[in-house]
Structure 1
Amino acid sequence: MTETLRPEDEVVRICQELIRIDTSNYGDGSGPREAEAAEYVVGLLREVGLEPSTYESDPGRVTVAVRIPGADADRGALCVHGHLDVVPAQAEDWQVDPFSGEERDGCVWGRGAVDMKDMDAMMLACVRDIARRGVVPPRDLVVVFFADEEAGGVKGSHFMVEEHAEVFEGVTEAISEVGGYSVTVTDREGRERRTYLVQTAEKGIAWLRLTATGRAGHGSVPNDENAIVRLAEAIARIAAHKWPREYIPSVRTLLDGLSELTGTGWSDEDLEELLAHLGGAQGFVRGTLQDTSNVTMLESGYKHNVIPQEAHANVDCRYLPGHEEDLLETIRELAGEHVRVEVLHGDIALEAPFEGDLVERMVEALRAEDPQAEVLPYCLSGGTDNKALSLLGVTGYGFAPLRLPADLDFAPMFHGVDERVPTESLRFGTRVLTRLLETC
């Protein structure tokens, strides 16, 4: 008699195989693109009798989608989505080949192990299991693997929403990345408690290009209209600016919940002791206490003895809900009269309630596998493809469930070196996600 294949039995293999397909997104249209990974996903879905569709925004920029009918067609459908692209990796910085999918020290290593081929693998393992067993979920499931998330989703989620909105017909809620993972917190009795962070909000994006203009000239001649100097002064003002704090509901609920759990008080002036309980995840939380602006790229000049007429810098700005116009106005003021500010890419901020049936099912699914789990909301300092889906009225959450070892500094591995995910965490997440999809 053949033993039934459980979803947790194949999730590690699927994660490794996805990592081995290089889908690096350089943001300029170059790179290997997502077509090969999309073909792999389609093959796994067809193997269990599903009939996915593919959508190509540009050559090689492929998104995969499949709908699984639910028991109640009148209920709003749930979209479960991931993205197939990853940020680039410099192999010389890593302990392993970043596209090897190597299993070492109980972890799967490689670019995408955390962001987000781990969740892609869990989604595939769960959906394959549901299809093999003939499970009819409570409502329609729309399962999507997007292209191009790491460059803002223009060729992926935004393309799908603008050109193929029919794929999301009836969808009212969505779950995706950067939430549902655990941090280990010491409670007020001195006990270690796993606390799972469900992403209920995310900051908006403003990717800006600063262009300083000046007077070109010979490098040996004094020049008080040097474009590079003007740009440097603008950068210094932006870097020195103190953005005012504001605690949106998701952030305040997290801080209050963490305070209650740990017995550590907090105030506007003193958050350090409370945030320290979050370990590596505190970086994400710090980024949600106010708007932020970070210079990420510089470009100017073409010869050592020539003062250029222009100098450029790229600034990554992230803003809280309702702050977009104020942020842009502030950056323009800080940049000064000789520096032009251009928005290269923008996307909205989101906030969803930490309540309702879907949130309750998430909590139940986590506690079924980890009975002592605490669950709190948080705001993501970055962004996800839920931004695009929100344009269709879809309420999105981050829920890629992972029970993590207390000593694993997980959150800093997003876009980091030596990205890896524990194999047991993948198996745990697959069980939790399967339970959620069967009960939501």
Structure 2
Amino acid sequence: MQTPAVATTLATLIRFAPVNHGGGRSDGERAIAEWIADQLRAAGWAPLLLHRAGGRDRLNVVLRVPGADRSLPGLLVHAHTDVVPVEPDQWTVPPFEGLVRAGYVYGRGAMDMLGTVAVLVETLVAWGRDGTRPRRDVLFCFVADEEDAGHWGAEWLVGEHPELFEGIEVAIGEEGGMGELMPHRDGSTRRVYTIQAGERGTQHIALTARGDSGHGSRPTGDDAITRLLHALVRISDHEWPLAVGDVVRGQYEGLAAALGFTVDITDEASMLALVDHLGPLAGPMRWTIRPSATPTVVQAGYKMNVVPGQASAQVDVRCPPGTVDLVDATLHELIGDGVEWHYLVNGAPLASPTSGPWWQAMCATIMAHDPAAVVVPGCMGGGTDAKAFATLGITTYGFTPAPPDASGRFAAGYHGSDERYPVASLVGAQTMMRHFLATV
């Protein structure tokens, strides 16, 4: 059986191994961007290749396709070309071989998010070949550096080239709209598509405690490490209150109705009963109902018998929509006066409408290809490039629709081992995306 073109394209993209190591270090982002631009040029397009000063290897590909009615507000479609590193010994297949086997495309980035890049490239190639044009302007952005801070990708584009986004009203990007088979309470299943209409805010903070250095045999109980540890314990032990906004409410209530549950969004036990029923299918639902703060990096000391004069840490803080002020005030209280701290990243949470013409168009695309679908809104536990584009006043959604594989294959391996995308779902994703872009 011949491999579909979109699967071949995905396999090719994986082989570039565009790994973002963080801290400004990356491999393969220039090569993958140049390849994408070459495909678009061969189809008759004239994409822009843009990079930040000093970042020639962190290329971004931008293409605006004029619509038939340029008075309509435009649409941004964004996808990132970088992937996270791998631990090869945890994989059963080579992570950058782009292996197509047993109905899957295997490889780092297959789901996050080179599969969508492949869908968009194939869509543009088909449009160039067929002369298809959308109703409205569609701006395609294939960006670098999403898997770190976006300083070389979306954040830089927004800051240095806001003119590119003139007239854009709505953006779609990762990750939402992929159909999943979810268990009903009666033992049957429902096909559920979650469109991401919200994201928790990303507030990464750095803490530094200072004190007198000294001999390890003469403890004072008020040294830098002790001060820092006390602050980290207060942060870790804090019980954050429930904070259920409209998007999360819609997700819980929509899933409960579809799966035979009754849920009370003021009662955590009621909500977690639904989460426990879903198991891994619940994704980040357990965490999107409140803020969180997780210490992730601690650094101190340089010799066993020396009390250091400084200790530092980093904490990954996430806040649902409507909780920014609460989270900031609580952090000040928990950390106290004995430890200095500041924001490394201070990305606001996002919440977009779950009604109106754009929402209806996304739902209509799903229903056109899967009339039995249940569509619910969702809130991401982490963050995406949507936060950068939202600073321009663009309404953002996670919408990269794809149907479930009819043979029961399922996507897996996000940031983990043996990442893979079912070929049948990938083909369906291309069909659904082309439908959406042609009709919205």
**Does TM, scored on the shorter chain, surpass 0.5?**
yes
Q: How many percent identity over aligned positions? A: 38
Q: Secondary structure at the match of 1:115?
A: helix
More deviation in 272-281 or 65-74? 272-281
Is 1:223 the counterpart of 2:220? The answer is yes
1:147 alignment partner in structure 2 = 144
**For residues 198-235 of structure 1, what are the alpha-carbon distances to aligned partners after superposition, in whole Å with 9 as ceiling and x for unaligned?**
00111111111111222211222223223222222222
2:36 alignment partner in structure 1 = 41
From 8, 13, 24, give the equivalent of 2:8.
13
Matched ranges for 1:124-203 at <5 A: 124-187=121-184, 190-203=187-200
1:84 alignment partner in structure 2 = 81
Q: Secondary structure at the match of 1:151?
A: coil
Matched ranges for 1:106-117 at <5 A: 106-117=103-114
State the alpha-carbon separation in 2 of the partners of residues 278 and 137 from structure 1: 38
1:380 alignment partner in structure 2 = 380
* Number of positions where the alignment pairs a residue of Structure 1 with one of Structure 2: 433
More deviation in 325-334 or 291-300? 325-334
Is 1:211 the counterpart of 2:217? The answer is no
Note closer, same or farther for the CA distance 1:96–1:226 as it changes in structure 2 (3 Å cut). Answer: farther
State the alpha-carbon separation in 2 of the partners of residues 224 and 115 from structure 1: 46
- CA-based RMSD of the aligned residues comes to 1.9
2:357 alignment partner in structure 1 = 357
The structural deviation recorded for 1:185 is: 2.0
2:424 alignment partner in structure 1 = 424
Contact persistence 2:410–2:421 (CA under 8 A): no
Contact persistence 2:272–2:286 (CA under 8 A): no
Contact persistence 1:194–1:373 (CA under 8 A): yes
The structural deviation recorded for 1:172 is: 0.6
The AA in structure 2 aligned to 1:178 is E
State the alpha-carbon separation in 2 of the partners of residues 158 and 347 from structure 1: 11
1:332 alignment partner in structure 2 = 332
- TM-score, normalization by structure 2: 0.93
State the alpha-carbon separation in 1 of the partners of residues 60 and 350 from structure 2: 23
The AA in structure 2 aligned to 1:242 is E
**For residues 172-203 of structure 1, what are the alpha-carbon distances to aligned partners after superposition, in whole Å with 9 as ceiling and x for unaligned?**
11110011112222336543111000001111
Is 1:318 the counterpart of 2:313? The answer is no
Note closer, same or farther for the CA distance 1:276–1:132 as it changes in structure 2 (3 Å cut). Answer: farther
The structural deviation recorded for 1:369 is: 2.1
State the alpha-carbon separation in 1 of the partners of residues 339 and 405 from structure 2: 47
The AA in structure 1 aligned to 2:343 is V
The structural deviation recorded for 1:105 is: 3.4
The structural deviation recorded for 1:277 is: 4.3
More deviation in 190-199 or 224-233? 224-233
The AA in structure 2 aligned to 1:153 is G
List gaps (5 residues or longer) in structure 1.
Answer: none
The AA in structure 1 aligned to 2:15 is R
Contact persistence 1:253–1:376 (CA under 8 A): yes
The structural deviation recorded for 1:282 is: 1.8
Note closer, same or farther for the CA distance 1:332–1:197 as it changes in structure 2 (3 Å cut). Answer: same
State the alpha-carbon separation in 2 of the partners of residues 215 and 96 from structure 1: 52
Contact persistence 2:199–2:381 (CA under 8 A): yes
The structural deviation recorded for 1:409 is: 7.0
State the alpha-carbon separation in 2 of the partners of residues 239 and 105 from structure 1: 44
Contact persistence 1:281–1:410 (CA under 8 A): no
From 252, 258, 275, give the equivalent of 2:255.
258
Contact persistence 1:200–1:398 (CA under 8 A): yes
From 44, 63, 70, give the equivalent of 2:60.
63
State the alpha-carbon separation in 2 of the partners of residues 361 and 129 from structure 1: 22
Q: Secondary structure at the match of 1:44?
A: helix
